Each structure stands twice: as C-alpha cells, then as structure tokens.
A and B are shown apart, each in its own frame.
Chain A
Amino acid sequence: MLAGYDALITTIALGAILAYSFHVVLMAGQLSLGQAGFASLAAYVSTLVVPTEPIAGSISPVIVGLPMGALVGAAAAFVVGLPVLRLRGVFLAIATIASAEMIRVLINNAEWTNGALGMRLDRWVTFDFAWAVVAVLAYLFWRLGPSRSGRAFAAVREDELAAGSMGVDVARTRMASFVASGAIAGVYGVMFAYFFGRITPVSFDFSLTVSGLVTAVLGGYLVFFGPVLGAVFLGAVPEVQNALGLEAGWIHPLVTGVLLLAVILFLPGGLSTLFARLRPAPARPGPDYAPLDALDPLPDPGTPLASVTGLAKSYGAVNAVRGVDLEIRAGEVLGVIGPNGAGKTTLVNMISGLEPPTAGEGTVLGVPIGSRPHRFAQAGVSRTFQHSKLFERLTVLDNVLVGTHVVSRSTYLRRLLWLPSARRDERRALALAWAQLERVGLADRAAARPGALSYGDRRRLEIARALAAHPTLLILDEPAAGMNHVEALELAGLIRGLADDGVTVLFIEHNVKMVLDACTRLVVLDFGEVIAEGEPREVAADPRVVEAYLGTEHEESEHV
C-alpha cells in the first residue's frame, strides 16, 4: 500500500524533524535561524564516524551518527549562542543567519568536505527509521509541555521580565532552547545525509531555514505535535492536488501558497489551533492536598530581611533615586508612597534585581543588590508590576503555575520516565497554584486567558502568581490602580491577611486610605529621597509629606 509513497512519507518525517528544531526555539520565543548551519556541520562530521556496513547484521549504521550529530549540533549552537544570545528578535535572526552562512562558507572551502562537489553516502535511512526519530521527538516535547521546564520556556516567550521575576533563569532557558535546537538540527542533518545519500554545502542553504520555519509556524508551536501537522500538511497538499487532477507546474506552488496564507491569517496559532478544544479544562485538585505542606517556614517576625544603604539610580542627568537607606523586617507591611516620579518604582526595581543601582549597596534576603532578577526570586522575593505583566497566551491557571517555579523541583526528566514522584510534584504545584487562585477569588476563571479578565482581576491574578512562589518578601507595585473602592477595600483585607500568614509585604500605592489601613510602616519618597518614615498615621500628618505628596491643593477626594 505504501509502494511509491515511502519517499514522500520519509521526506515528511524529515520535514517534521527540521521543524522541531525551530519549534523548540519558538517555544521559548527566540527567532533563531541558524539551524541550517548546525545541520550541515553535523551531517559532515557524522560522515567521519558512521560505519559503511550495518551494525550487527541489520541495525542501520546511522544509529551511530545520530548522537554524534546531536552532539555536534548542540556544541556548535552553544558556541554560537554565547555571543549572539545577547540579541533579541530580528537582530537575533540576522546574527544566526550569518552564523549559518559562515558555516556554509567554511564547509565549501574545506578540504575534507570535498568543497562544492559534496559527498556521496550510502542511503541508510528508511521511512520507518525516520518516523521512529519523529516519534521520539514528539514524545520529548509531549512530556516537556506541562513540566516545570516547559512552563519556563513559555514564560520566557511571553514576557522575559516577568519570567525572571518569577525565578526563571532567562539566560539559561534561552540557551537551553538554543542548544536543544542545535541538537535537533544536528539529528536532521545526519538523517538528511543518509536519506538522500548526498550532501553538498548548498543542500543546507537559506531555503532550508525558510522551509523549517514555515513548517514550524504553520503547524503551530504552542502544542507538541505542531511540527508533524505542518510537515504532513505541506507534504500532502501537492499530492492532493495531483489526485484532484491539477496540472503540475506553477499552479501547485500557487495553491500551496494560498493555503499557507489562509492558515496564517485565519488560524493564528497554526494548524494546531484546530485541536485547541481538545485540552481538558483545569479542575480543582482533590481535597487530599494540603498545598502548604513541606514549604519552608517563613522567617520569624522582626528578623531583618533586607538592608540597603545609599541606594541611588541616575539616568544620565536625571537622579531617579538618591541615597536611599532602607531596612525591611519580617512581618512588616511597608508602604512606599510619593508623588508621581518620586522614584518609587525605580527603588523596588533595584531591590528586585530588574535594574542595577548606580551607587549604594546592601542585600535582600542575602542576595547582593545588582544581581539578576531570578536570584532574588529564588531567595524569596516575589513581585507584581505597575503595568501588569501577565503571560497572555497561557491560561490563568498556567500563569499562576509559573509562579510555583522557585518552590518546585524540575520534573521534566522524571516525567519522561513516568516516575510517580514527578506526578506528585506536579500535583503539588497545581494544588499550590489553585490555592492562590482561591485566595484572590479567581478559581472560577482558571481556564480563561488573561485577556478575558477585567482590569481588577488582572491585578489579582498577578498577585496570585506572585504568591504562588511562597514569597518571604512580596513587592506590590500599585496593586490597586484601576480598582474601584470596593475592590481596593478587599485588596487591603487580602494584604493584611498575608501579613497575618507571615508574608512581609512592601507596596507602592497612591490610595492613601488603603495605605493607612494596611501598612504597619510608611516610607515617603520625594524627588528620589526619603522625606519621612515611621508609623503611618504620624507620617501622613507630617506637614512636609502633606506638602510634597498632596501639594498645596487638597486633592484628597481623588485618593481617599
């Protein structure tokens, strides 16, 4: 039945493998296009190690080439990644394309590769072998999706800043996706070489990059089987046209192009959008889970958590923050207020690692000021943003699950082997996330996307995500902005409840009434300096504060 189709079926499998090498970088939001170079390097190097006779009588000798190809591809990606992964977006794309071109020129001019004349090899790759490789890749990505690492990839793709603040090591995650992409491209290179039996430097030119990228995007990179869908679609369309009796020639590429355009326009998540409804709705975990079990106890009230001195930040001639000394003790609810532009957000950005200070020093939960954000997050600092930074393409529940990153263990490898402990860990993370959703009152929206939430709900979701990290110090940047009075009141209650649970809270707010209700201590900033500090009601009565913060005109109606 397959007679006459096996070449086609094998090329579809190869297309899927190539697309997976793009899938893995797109999953992490990286537009990296150097795969053709890694594939070609791996293909050529593998010819040095693959034996010319079947192993043990019947095993395809390519079995030796695959790990070699993966290794070469991964190593090349690592070396290229060190310099180019500082770049993002279109700049990363250009740099990676340049790296592929460099590899092509190198191979074209090397002696051992036989230059442009290329190499002829035995054709050892059969269609069952190719599909076995696709099956393994699909399995790897299937198990990756709902694991801690898979969520880290998605978080980096959606918002690097928020991902870092949730404890995801952004640089390492990007490098991991880049190296994995190199390894898969390497496997593709070897498969290519031993299926077509012939490689020339031109085999791995820019058109290969384009076809891999198109297949990956067409299939969709939000589900694990996207590349297979894309490859089958692109492979089947010309065949269907033949079956329908359409003449070959220019009509075929035209029809394929029109279909491609239709998919991109009407199915933004690629063909996999058609299968989106198959995802089960998230359900409340069973009652047998006590989610806060086995979480580290929070420090006793009064323990010093953070201490910074002389903290300053200037942007050119503008001094956003000037010489701020600050001490935070466990159990406090510390409010930071000040007029717009007083430097409040800059201050919390520095103590959560988002911005390095220009002067000053200190530690937050033992992490020196100036470290990268994920270090603070891992130490127990969790935060929200003035303009909420949610992972827009993840569900509400998945947003909160990313928050559990720092308090859960990596599950990917154990998931591959179906170890029960991985399942336990995932269910624990789920229970923890669900508990936070219930805490902020969003449990009934678990399956929605953030875009479908009201403004107030989005702020609550961000708080739930921050809480899922089981933070010692929770930083809230204007959490009540955009909330009505009732919602703000509820929020103040929530914050006091957190303090009762032992969470230390630092929050920036304009709503003075809420600040007075919730805070145990108040710091007032003006023009980047601390102008008052102490018990909230005393501070609020301080004439300097009234002048600086409220101005001479009493605009209290807006804030109270």
Chain B
Amino acid sequence: MRLKSTTGAVLAAAALLATGACVSEDTNEASSDSALSGSGTGADCTIDETVKIGAVFSLTEAAAFAGTYQQEGLALGFEELNAAGGITYEVIQEDDKTSVEDSVAAFGKLIDRDEVSAIVGPTLSNMAFTTYTDAESAGVPALGVSTTAEGIPEMGDYIFRASLPEEVALAASIPAAKEALGLTKVAVLYDNADEFTTSAANTIKDVLNDENIEIVAEETFETADTDFAAQLTSVLEAEPDAVILSALPGATVPLVKQARNLGIEAPIVGGNAFNSPVLVGALEDASEGLIVGGAWSAASDTTGNAEFIANYTEKYGRAPDQFAAQAYTAAYLLDQAIRADCDANREAIKDNLGQILEYDSILGPISIDEGGEVTQEPVVQIVHDGAFTLL
C-alpha cells in the first residue's frame, strides 16, 4: 500500500511537470486618471473626485492591540483633512486578521478592485514582506506606519514608511539610559521565536557593543511563554545595572511583573513595543522606572500634539498611543504628497512622498527620503507614577 501511495505522489509530480505552469510576466503599467489631478497648489489644491486611500491593519487576532489604534488614528487624520476642504478622502479599511493570507487578499482587493491611490499599512512587518511585493509590482504607493523591521523600504520604489525603525529607537534609548543611569553591565532578554523581537535583539547587542556596555546575561524565551523564572533567576544572579527587554506585549506584562516579584530592582529598558498606555496600565506598580524608546510621546510639545490627544480621547473614549499617532501622521503625510502637485494619481504620490522634508507633525519634524526611509528624532521616556515622562 505504501508503495502505491508514494508512486502516486511521483505520478502527481510528473503530471505537474507536464502541465508546465508558466510564470507570467508582471506588467507594471501606470494608469493615470485625469480626474484625480486638480487645480491649485499646496493648501489651495482642489480635486473634484474623491481620493480613495486603502488601509490594511490587523483589527482582530494577535496584533489587534496595535491595529485598532491605527484604524482610529488614520480615520481621525482623514476626518480632519476632509473638514479642511479642497480634497475629499475616502478610507477603505481592510482587516488582515493578523494573517498573511488575509493581508495578501486585502492588498489584492484594494489594488485591483477598489483601485486606491495609496495604501497605509499593514500592521506587521512580517506581512509587509509579502504584501509590499504586490504593491510594488502593481505600482501602488504603500506607506507603513508600524513596519519597523530592517529592509522594508528597500523592497521597492513605491514602498515608504513613517514608522521609526526599531534600531533607531533603541540606538536612542540605550545611550540615554546609559547617561541617566550610568550603565556599565546589562542583561539582555528577548523572545527568540518572534521575528520582530529577534531582529531588535540583534540591534540591541550591536548598540551595547558600540556603547561599550558589557552584556552579563543573555536569555531567550518564546512568544507564548508565561513562566520566566529560569531566565530571570540567572538575570538576578548576574546583578546587571539594567535589563534590556525585547518582547511583544503578551509576554512583557508577566515578565516584568515576575522580574519585580523575584527582586530584580534594575531599570528595564525597551523599544517601540513598550510605548503604550495600555501596557503601563496592565503593569500597574511594576511599570515604575521602565525606559522606553519610541517615535511619539504624549508628553512631547510637538505641533498639534495636545490637540490630537484631546480630539482622539474625545472621539474614541481612550487615550491614543504611538500606533494611533503614527497612523494619524500618515494621513497628513499622504495629504502633503498629494497637495505637492495637486495630483492624487499613484505615480504622483510615489514621486512626492519621497520628497517630504522636515514636515512639522505631532511626531516632530519628519522626513521621508526617496528610498522610502523615514527620518525623525526618537523620544526616550521613563515611566513615573504610571505616566510617561521625557527622560
């Protein structure tokens, strides 16, 4: 019987070879719709046709903690822009259910069926690595707002991001912590089953090396772990000046709590994933002294920040986080790119998005270069009495 089944498999392979499925040539045709280009320039620009912007976020499942904030932030941004007049935006929101399959399908829908001018998202870099190849080959500008992994902007000419790369956030928070706390030896703890946290851990080690800080303990765990006693015990024994943590929110809360219970008093330093009021709330007292590098702070006095926080809190009944702030900024960045030539066609957005220089946003002055990479000043914060304050 076994023989038969395996021979069957061989036959299947042979049949496939016979069909010789061919690779189709991707054509990168730039279609242009004159109704999408208007008159006037900059603030006076008027476009008659509604400009459709696609958004793909993880609204359900694992990454919903970020996706829901992003959806709200982006919606708020475009709502304000619509009120300002001249250009009418329509956001077509898709949920990728934190799965690559749905992310790819959502991009397909937005690109070919809805024929959007640009796409904001997806939430996770992991999906962006797949979906951005589709956006690139279709010639649709894609603007990431939380895709912080290395190599994303390099995926193509149409790929941009307004999300501070993790290595930049860490490169700021570690020296700041070193200066404030006088670090000489640290412990590094990271989730080695997740791509984002592993990549960040590699950056952390490089930065520590550059700063001449000794790593006295290096421990790993897996995304779904809930007990960290073994790792934390060896951290405790190494007596570090600080613990650098690279973890997703799910593991961060129990880990930090267990560390404090075990008697680890050293400050804990983290990157982008820490920058959330929800996380601080869940940690309760254990959040005291957390040092967080990120792209945005509620405590910053950047242009429009206080207004953004007030409007957001009023509209959604909760305080915004970094994900909301970055998505909100993305709406303004796209608006800038469209108004530059008063043209909402894909090509024009692509050309102008890479030209944004020192735009004054709630994240501070922000620039996007032609390669698609973002430049902004990272902020380093410390948690005091349950609130983020600038370090």
Contact = CB atoms under 8 A, between A and B. Distances in A.
How many A residues touch the partner, as a band?
Answer: 35 or more
Given A7-B105, A11-B104, A118-B195, A198 B126 contact: yes
A67 B1 contact: no
A8 B105 CA distance: 5
Interface residues of B, number: 52
Contact of A202 (B1, B112, B195): B195
13 contacts: A4-B108, A7-B107, A8-B109, A58-B23, A70-B12, A126-B24, A132-B16, A136-B12, A175-B1, A198-B100, A412-B4, A412-B8, A416-B11
Interface stretch (B129-137, B252-260, B309-317, B343-351): B129-137
B192 A108 contact: yes
Contacts, number: 154
Given A169-B1, A202-B194, A412-B4, 7 more contacts: A11-B101, A67-B10, A116-B193, A117-B195, A179-B6, A202-B193, A248-B93
A116 B112 contact: no
A248 B2 CA distance: 46
A63 interface: yes
A4 B113 contact: yes
Interface string A184-208: 0000000000001110111100000
A364 B13 CA distance: 44
Nearest to A68: B13
Contacts of A152: 1
Nearest to B59: A249
A472 B252 CA distance: 71
B194 A196 contact: no
Interface in B1-59: 1-2, 4-13, 15-17, 19-24, 59
Looking at B15, B107, B192, B193, which has the most chain A CB atoms within 10 Å of its CB? B193
B324 interface: no
Contact of B9 (A109, A118, A180): A180
Interface in B100-153: 100-101, 104-105, 107-109, 111-114, 126, 129-130, 133-134
B302 interface: no
B335 interface: no
B6 A201 contact: no
Interface in A121-152: 123-124, 126, 128-129, 132-133, 136-137, 139-140, 144, 149, 152
B21 A60 contact: yes
A226 to B, nearest CB: 18
Looking at A116, A126, A198, which has the most chain B CB atoms within 10 Å of its CB? A116
B112 A176 contact: no
Given A116-B192, A248-B93, A132 B19 contact: yes
B199 interface: yes
B150 to A, nearest CB: 9
Given A202-B194, A202-B195, A7 B108 contact: yes
A108 B193 contact: yes
A120 B13 contact: no
A59 B22 contact: yes
B52 to A, nearest CB: 13
